[in-house]
Amino acid sequence: PSTKIHFIENNAQTVAPSLSATFTEKLRQHITSLSSLTQVNNDKADYDISGAITNYNVTVASITGTETSARNRLTIGVNIVFENRSDEKKNFTKTFSRFADFNANQNFQTVETALIEEIADQLKDDIFNQAFVNW
C-alpha cells in the first residue's frame, strides 16, 4: 500500500517559517515508519493526506495574582483531509489542535522551535491514530 502526503501549507494568520516543512516531514516519517506504507508522489496512492495549518497563536494560559501573565500558550491547529481510496467510509476532514505552555518570562523566539517540535509530535500522533488505528 502507498500514501501520498501533500506538503501541509501554513495558512494561519501568523506564519512560522519552519512550521510547514517541520510538520510535513514529521507526519511523513511517522506514517511510513509505523506502517507498511510507501510515500509516493502520484495520484495512484491508496491513501491521500492533505491539509493546511489553520491556527498558530500565542495566548495567555494563566495569570498571577498581580494580573501579569505567568504562562503563555502556543496553539497550533491543522485541518487534515484524509482519503482512503479502498474504503470511502474511512475518509475524513478534521481539524486537529494541540498546545504547549511556556513561562511568560521566556522570550518566545528562544522557545518557539522546541514548542513547534513538541506540538507537531502530538499532532502527527493524533492524525495517524485517526487515519490508521482501525487497521
Separation between Cα atoms, residue 65 and residue 18, nearest integer Å: 36
Query: Which residue, chain included where needed, has cell 500565542?
Result: 58
H/E stretch holding 51 reads strand 47-63
Q: What pLDDT is stored for residue 97 in this prediction?
A: 98
Other beta carbons within 10 Å of 3: 22
Running DSSP on this structure, what letter comes out for residue 130? Answer: H
* Tens digits of pLDDT across the chain (135 residues): 999 999 999 999 998 988 999 999 999 999 999 999 999 998 889 999 999 999 999 998 887 777 676 899 999 999 999 999 999 999 999 999 999 999 989 999 999 999 999 999 999 999 999 999 864
- Which of 57, 55, 108, 46 has the alpha carbon at shortest distance from 80? 55
Q: What pLDDT is stored for residue 99 in this prediction?
A: 98
Separation between Cα atoms, residue 93 and residue 79, nearest integer Å: 7
Query: Which residue, chain included where needed, has cell 484524509?
Result: 82
Q: What pLDDT is stored for residue 61 in this prediction?
A: 85
Q: What pLDDT is stored for residue 129 in this prediction?
A: 96
Q: What pLDDT is stored for residue 134 in this prediction?
A: 65
pTM for this predicted structure = 0.91
Report how far apart, in Å, the C-alpha atoms of 87 and of each of 24, 40, 116 are.
24, 19, 33
Q: What pLDDT is stored for residue 74 in this prediction?
A: 97
Backbone angles phi and psi of 69, in degrees to 5: -70, 130
